[in-house]
């Protein structure tokens, strides 16, 4: 029995190592590859965002998080046509993304340190999100029925192997990583889950 237990542990370790290796291979050379950044002297490619020990668990769905988390208050998307009723401050994985992309937290604020290198350029979103796609709202079949221009996520095929609900939502919510592939597994610029040629990514959820 003990031998079977340790064999299972070893197998799990091999799978985790393989997953970490494949993710590292995908992210290397992408916009999220900070291994050569002067503010990351360790050269570790995962460290600016993730750590195996003493991770920050204050944010829902934060995978072994190592980076300082934004405390900014955001101006959120506004429209007279939006039907989502729980549209509020960014949460979950989107809050993690904004912990660099809002420009209030330094890129090198990780591992308990307070950094000084802030994001600049077109990737800087700031705290005014009124002109971006809405995030951190519940996208379910009820919303699709109410909106009438969205596909029901529980049955809509994502093109990624299963449904929109399974492949693109997090706790049934639309987040930044519902469209963006933060680990660049598919190598689709600008770090997308699937190509948006002919608005294909948009049309995964939106009907005409």
Helix, strand, coil shares of the chain as percentages rounded to 5?
Answer: 30, 10, 60
C-alpha–C-alpha distance, residues 26 and 35, integer Å? 13
Return the pLDDT at 23: 59
Residues 75-96 pLDDT 10s: 999 999 999 999 999 999 999 9
Mean pLDDT to the nearest integer, 126-131: 97
Model confidence pLDDT, tens digit, residues 10-69? 443 443 343 444 556 689 999 999 999 999 999 999 999 999 999 999 999 899 999 999
Residue 200 has pLDDT above 60, yes or no: yes
């Amino acid at each position: 029995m003990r031998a079977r237990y340790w064999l299972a542990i070893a197998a799990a370790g091999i799978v985790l190592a393989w997953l970490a290796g494949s993710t590292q291979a995908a992210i290397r050379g992408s916009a999220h590859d900070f291994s050569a950044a002067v503010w990351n002297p360790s050269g570790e490619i995962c460290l600016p965002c993730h750590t195996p020990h003493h991770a920050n668990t204050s944010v829902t769905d934060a995978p072994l998080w190592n980076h300082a988390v934004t405390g900014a208050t955001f101006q959120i998307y506004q429209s007279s046509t939006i039907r989502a009723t729980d549209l509020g401050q960014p949460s979950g994985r989107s809050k993690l993304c904004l912990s660099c992309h809002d420009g209030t937290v330094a890129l090198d604020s990780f591992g308990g340190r307070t950094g000084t290198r802030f994001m600049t350029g077109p990737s800087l979103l700031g705290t005014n999100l009124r002109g971006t796609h809405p995030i951190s709202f519940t996208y379910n079949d009820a919303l699709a029925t109410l909106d009438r221009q969205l596909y029901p996520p529980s049955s809509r095929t994502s093109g990624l192997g299963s449904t929109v609900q399974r492949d693109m939502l997090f706790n049934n919510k639309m987040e930044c990583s519902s469209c963006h592939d933060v680990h660049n597994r598919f190598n689709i610029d600008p770090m997308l889950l699937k190509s948006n040629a002919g608005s294909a990514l948009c049309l995964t959820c939106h009907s005409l």
